[in-house]
Each structure stands twice: as C-alpha cells, then as structure tokens.
Amino acid sequence: MGETAGLKKVPFIFSLLAGLMIGIVLIFGFSLLRDRRGLPEKIKREIEIDRTRLVRIDDVEIRAERDEEFVLARKEIGEPAAFYLRTLDGKIEKRVLPVAPYYAGMAFPIIYLVIGLSCLALGAAIFWLKSADLKARLFYWLNLAFASALIISGDNYCLGRAWPTFIPCLVFILAYALAPAFLLHFSLAFSRRPFKLSRLIVYGPAIFIASVQVSSFLYAYLKPSIEMVRFYNGQYYIFRLYVILYLLLAVILLSLSYRKTREEEERAQIKWIFYGLTVGLLPYLFLYMLPSVLKLKPVLSEEFSPVFFIAIPLAFAIAIIKYKLMHIELVINRSLVYSMLTVFTVCVYLFFVQVSQKLFSKVFVQEGAFSVIGVFLAAVAFRPAQKKIQDFVDRAFFRQRYDYRRTILAFNEKAQNIFSQDELLDCFTAEIEKAIPLENLAVVAGEDFPDKEASEMTIPLKLSSGESYGALALGKKKSGGRFSREDIELLRTMAGELAVNLDRIRLQEEVIYERASREKSDELNRLKTEFISTVSHELRTPMSSIQGLAEILQSGKIKSKEQREKYLNLMASESGRLSRFLHNVLDFGRIEQQAKKYNFQKTLIHDVIQEAAEVFGHVLESQGFELTMRLPEHPVTLDIDADAVKQALINLIDNALKYSTDKKVIDLELVDKEKGIEILVRDQGIGIPPEEQKKIFDKFYRAAEASRVCPKGAGLGLKIVKHIMQAHGGDVLVESEIGRGSAFRLIFPKR
C-alpha cells in the first residue's frame, strides 16, 4: 500500500514541479516583453494615414505579413534601421529611424499577466485539492497552457540575441498548440457516455503541429532564414484552422453533455463553463482567427482579441464556488472575485476604445479624439454594467454581505452631508438598527468605557490620530441569535466609518474656528472667498434653471410648439452661459499654472467676429439688444489662435450684455490700420470710473457699481482677455465714461 501511495505521488509532484518551472519561464518571458521591438511611430503613421507600404527594412525585402517582425527581432531598441516605403505614386522613400519599443504606453501585457496569473492560481488550487480527479488534472494543464500562451503573447515577442530568450518562445508555441487539445479532452470528461476518441486522436494533431512549428521556428531564427520564417508563418493558416476546429468541437461537446445530463447542479456547472468559453473565445475565433484564415482584415487586433479571455477563469470560478465543480468545497473571499471583475472592466474599457477608433477613424485624424470617445463610451456603457455584475456576484455568493454593503454605502452617503456630532451619531444608530435589530445600542464618548457585563459586545472607536474617541456598546440581537462573522465585520466597518466622519467633523470645526479668527483686512483672502461663492452661484444658477426647464418639458404639460421652442432656447442659453463660465475658470487655472498654450494659425478675422456674435444670438433677441457689425469688405487675416481670440470677444460681449441697463446697443467693429488690426467692442452701459479702469484687468477684481448692477461674475473674464492679447504680442485698451458706456480695443500688431 505504501509503495502504491508513493507511486501516486510521483505524477503529482512532477506536475507541480512542471507548473513551477513553467511559471518561472512565464515571469522571465513577461520581463522580456518590454524589449519587444516595433516600428517607429513615424513609420506607423505614414502607413496608416498616408497609405504607404513598407517594402524593405535594411537589406530584407518585406513580402509576407510578419516579415518585419523577423527583422526587428534581430535588432535592439534604439538601434537605427533603414525603412523603405512605397508611396501611392510608386516612389520608394527611405527613412532611417531607431527601432521603437512595441508596447510603449500599452497596458495589454499587464492585463494578460493578471488574467494568466488568475488562471494559474485557480488551476493550481483545483489540482492541489482534487489531483486524483481527471477533470482537475486536465483543468490544471489546460490553465498552464492557456496562461503560457496568454502571458508570453507571441512566438517571437520575447526573442533576443541571447539563447535563454528562446525558452519562453518555445513554451508559447507548445502551449498555444496544446491548449485546444487540453480543452477538447476536458470537454470530453463531462460526457456521461464518453466518445471513443483515443488520446492519440486528441493530442496527435497538436503534437505534430507543435513539433513542426518548433523545428521550423528554431531553424528560422537560429540560421537565420527569412524564407524559413515565411514557411513557419505560412503554417499559421493550418494552425488556425486546427484551433477553430478544436474549440468549436469543445463547445459542441459541452452542449451535448448539457442536454444529456439531468442533474441540476451538473447542468449549472456545464452552463457556466459554456458561458465562459462563449464570451471568452468567440470574439477571438470569429473576429480575429477566422478573418486571418480567410485572408481578411481582422475586426479585432492581435493584441486586443485575447482580453475577453478574462471571462473564462471568471466563469470557472463561479462554477467551482457556487456549483461545486469537481465536488470542490472552496471558499473564496469576494475581494478575489472583485479583482477579476476589475480586470474585466478594464477589458470592456479597451473594447470601447478599440471600437470607437474603428468607427470614427474616418472622421477624426488625431488620436486624442479616439481617447475622448473611448472614455465617454466606457463611462456611459461600462459603469452601470460593472455595478450590476458586482451586485449579481454579491447576491449569488455573499447575500448577507450584499445587504451589509448597502448599509455601509447608505451611511456614508448620509454622513457626507452631516456636520454635527449628535446628528451623525443619530444617523449611525439608525442605520445599525436597520441592518441588525438590537435590544440596545450606545456610542459612549470619552474615557468612560462601557461595562462589558451590561453589553454583549464593545468595539473601540479610534480616530485617525490614534486618539480614542470612546466605544460602541452593543446589546443582544433581538432575534436571540449570536453575532456572526458578517455581523462583526459590518459593525467594525461601520465603527471605522463613524470614526472617520467624527474626525472629519472635528477637523471641519477646527477649520471653521480658524477662519472665524482670521483678520478681515486680508484682501486676497476676501477676494478668494468671494470667488468661491461666485463660482458656486454661477454653477448653481444655470444648472438649476436647466434642471427646472427640463423637468417642465419632461412633464408633458407644455403642448405649444412655440412655448417648447422658447424653453429649449432658454436651456441652450443657460448651457452656453455655464460653458463660458467653466471655460474661463479652466483657462484661469492654466494661466495661473503657466500652462496655457496657444495654437497660432493664419485666420480670417471676419469669421472669428461673426462666430463670437452668433454665440449670443438668442440672448440678444430675447433681451431686446441691437447688435451692429462693421467689417471691411476686403478679407483681413492674421496669425492668431482663433479659439482664444473668439473667447476674448465672447467675454467682452458678455460684459456688454450684463452692464447695459437702459440703452441696449452693442457695436462690433474691425479696423485694418497700417501698423496693426483693431477689434472694437462698444456698449452704452453703466461705464467704468477712471480710477478703476486699470484694476478691472486684475484677477477677481470687480468694480463696486458692476457688482451692484450684476452680481453674477467672478472677475476673471478681463484677466483672461489681457493674457490672450499679451500672448499675441498685442494689448487691450479701455475707454469709458460713467453712464455713457465703454469701448474695449483689442490691438493686434501686423507680423
């Protein structure tokens, strides 16, 4: 018996040692990925945007799909190479540029590493617990092969000039070839009436393909031989057919097993495995593999298509935890599940970025547009999905914790709006009573620690400074039951949140006290305080108006088309006002940090003036203003930042609107002089006293009469106008008389 047990341990130890060695190779391979060589960005842009074609690198002609990878794998990052490009008119142009890192600024290797390590950890845990089960052993080797192919990512991606770099490349080739066979064998293990397929039929094609690929790869890169590289890469069409066939067979076998089994738990196990394979593999098969076999352009790139693989270990984890796949009693903390969900959410974000690039690539040229669209789509479509997935996992595996988490979130949400200790303690006890009905509950402050005999449990309250606030005294549960581990976790978490908010309130009270004791004569602080108040008002007022108008329109009470049009115009006006204010605040921040940048281009000044006036079209009409423009008949152009000058004009027109009370007339005039160009914005408003005309360009400054007539404003508009004109090498001058209006001149020198 002892000899038999010893013999059984040999495969177990061998498998663990093999897994350990493969894990070491994977980490080594991952460390080499940062040295994967790629085309310089300039070459990529010329190929993608100018539609040129790479025909040669150094002395190697580029004829096949992956020829450039062979050439770049023999170089080092930063090493110069000669790139020959054929333009659309047939000319060959030479570019000598340094070889660039392929993964610069890309997160794919990290994502693949996290997914791969998750698979390794899951496979090792299952093998350790159930090594005698055939499914567990196949699952272990399947995860090893899957993780190896995923982490290393490609056959020559880790390749360098030193011979050890060949090891992870060979591991990738073997793993990539064997993973479909392991998956097919694993699927067969679920059949109640096993198909008569010998292991030779299952693994024979995989071993044959792996042998041919390994030998041709070594010959191609050790010789080296570009012809052998092309032969090796040509095999990938056959290899991809083999992968597609085996993966589809695995899915079909699982479907048949699901239909034949009558046990609900086993059906659920197969269903989750099927879900994982479908979500994880179908995008890879049909959006990358199949188009490559048919010699079409793949919908998803080689780097992006495997990110869906995160669904596979996630589905297997659910099958194991909830439905005891392979009869495993496994308890996994929710943080592990949430970690896997975090990776999944990153994958979804990358998916939206990729899709947005493909959808808008014909419209936008700059990559910045892609990122903005990707972030927007991710924020719109991804955040609600993430919350629903997280709630589902909580309800499925941590039902009690799910309810407790809602309690913690509800308390935190209410606590943020509480600014007194008594009110906070009342809110705290109310939320605890909802979650865990207790006979009594008290928060004891100070040094008087509650009597342990009078309370079922006590939890100390520690502030962030380490100072003891007191303790939480808990009576018995009204249900008569004992405090569970989840109960204690909730109470300790809530006590910690209470301590944090008590600390916050204490700090806020200290801040309020310090502010109250400051000298009122500090002018800068007064201006900053007014600015903060104004910002709040400027943001709140249009947002409240927009919300109110939107609610009226949504209610359906407004039937008149003219009235609805009026409300929509008001919403647009308030939105424009809010947008202009935010623009000024952001620009002021950039100016203060000396980070404001300008893009000078030759621009027709007529268009800039007209666009600035059009911004206020509805406001001018609704408030009864008369706007006149006097522009020269001949075109006037300047090298300016059109957006910045437009903003300066908008700020001046906005001021003219705010400070014109009786005579609502605004004049815009463009004057082409010999030494420069002038743009005049003239109104017939309240005017500016002479002693204040120099101060109005200071930040936060507002004249007393201006503040009385129009409380709205933060004192930033003219400061920004001044900065814009200085950046253009010009100036802004003001002429004004009390009660007779003001005229602002934007003076641009001719260059």
The encoded tokens of residue 208 equal: 């044959």
Residue 548 has pLDDT above 90, yes or no: no
CATH fold, domain 402-516, is Beta-Lactamase (3.30.450)
Give the least confident one: 362-366, 524-528, 611-615: 362-366
Residue 489 has pLDDT above 50, yes or no: yes
Residue 401 has pLDDT above 50, yes or no: no
Closest CA to 211 of 173, 246, 172: 173
Q: What is the mean pLDDT of residues 407-423?
A: 83
The encoded tokens of residue 242 equal: 């083999």
CA 551 to chain centre: 31
Q: How far apart are CA 736 and CA 685, in angstroms?
A: 10
Residue 367 has pLDDT above 60, yes or no: no
The encoded tokens of residue 223 equal: 């010789």
Contact (CB, 8 A) for 497 and 415: yes
Angle of CA points 162, 167, 169, to nearest 5°: 100
Q: What is the mean pLDDT of residues 624-630?
A: 87
Confidence of residue 521 (pLDDT cuts 50, 70, 90): low
The whole-number pLDDT of residue 1 equals 43
Q: Is the peptide bond before 224 cis (omega within 30 degrees of 0)?
A: yes
Residue 644 has pLDDT above 90, yes or no: no
Report which of residues 404 and 72 the model is more confident about.
72
The encoded tokens of residue 582 equal: 């935010």
- DSSP tag of 288: I
Q: What SS3 state is found at 735?
A: strand
Query: What is the rounded average pLDDT for all residues in the chain?
Result: 76
The whole-number pLDDT of residue 564 equals 74
Q: How far apart are CA 547 and CA 57, in angstroms?
A: 60
The whole-number pLDDT of residue 399 equals 43
Q: Could you read off the pLDDT of 4-31 as tens digits, one per residue?
A: 444 456 678 888 898 899 989 989 988 8
Confidence of residue 533 (pLDDT cuts 50, 70, 90): low
CATH code for residues 2-35+104-332: 1.20.1070
CATH code for residues 595-749: 3.30.565.10
Report which of residues 191 and 192 the model is more confident about.
191
The whole-number pLDDT of residue 538 equals 57
The whole-number pLDDT of residue 171 equals 92
Residues pairing with 94 in the sheet: 84
Q: What is the mean pLDDT of residues 104-118?
A: 77
The whole-number pLDDT of residue 636 equals 87
Residue 332 has pLDDT above 50, yes or no: no
What's the full length of the chain, in residues?
751
Which residues have C-beta within 8 Å of that of residue 384, sequence separation ≥ 6?
none
Task: Phi first, then psi: give them for residue 458, nearest 5 degrees.
Answer: -125, 140
Report which of residues 132 and 667 the model is more confident about.
667
Q: What is the mean pLDDT of residues 104-113?
A: 74
Give the least confident one: 108-122, 679-693, 711-725, 732-746: 711-725
Reported as half-sphere exposure (CB side, CA atoms, 13 A), residue 93 has a value of 15
The whole-number pLDDT of residue 402 equals 44
Q: What SS3 state is found at 61?
A: strand
Q: What is the mean pLDDT of residues 129-142?
A: 82
Q: Could you read off the pLDDT of 265-288 as tens digits, one per residue?
A: 677 778 877 887 787 777 777 777
CATH fold, domain 523-591, is Helix Hairpins (1.10.287)
The whole-number pLDDT of residue 524 equals 59
Q: What is the share, in percent, of the chain residues with pLDDT greater than 70? A: 71
Residue 73 has pLDDT above 60, yes or no: yes
Q: What is the mean pLDDT of residues 67-90?
A: 87
Report which of residues 379 and 57 the model is more confident about.
57
Give the least confident one: 4-13, 119-128, 541-550: 4-13
The whole-number pLDDT of residue 364 equals 47
- In angstroms, the Cα distances linking 498 to 423, 433, 466, 472, 637 are 12, 15, 14, 10, 64
- Would you list the domain boundaries of the chain? 2-35+104-332, 37-101, 402-516, 523-591, 595-749
Report which of residues 301 and 641 the model is more confident about.
641
Burial class (CB in 10 A: 0-12, 13-18, 19+), 420: exposed
Strand pairing report for 665-672 and 626-630 = parallel
Q: Could you read off the pLDDT of 564-589 as tens digits, one per residue?
A: 777 677 677 667 666 666 766 666 66
The whole-number pLDDT of residue 21 equals 93
Q: What SS3 state is found at 634?
A: coil
Q: What is the mean pLDDT of residues 120-139?
A: 82
Residue 347 has pLDDT above 60, yes or no: no
Residue 339 has pLDDT above 60, yes or no: no
Report which of residues 681 and 297 the model is more confident about.
681
Q: What is the mean pLDDT of residues 692-705?
A: 75
Closest CA to 436 of 476, 381, 398, 388: 476
The whole-number pLDDT of residue 174 equals 92
CA dihedral 240, 246, 247, 249 (to 10 degrees): 140
Each as own residue / partner, the long-range contacts of residues 40-45 (CB below 8 Å, 24 or more positions apart, any chain) are 40/83, 40/95, 40/97, 40/98, 40/99, 40/100, 41/100, 42/95, 42/97, 43/83, 43/85, 43/95, 43/97
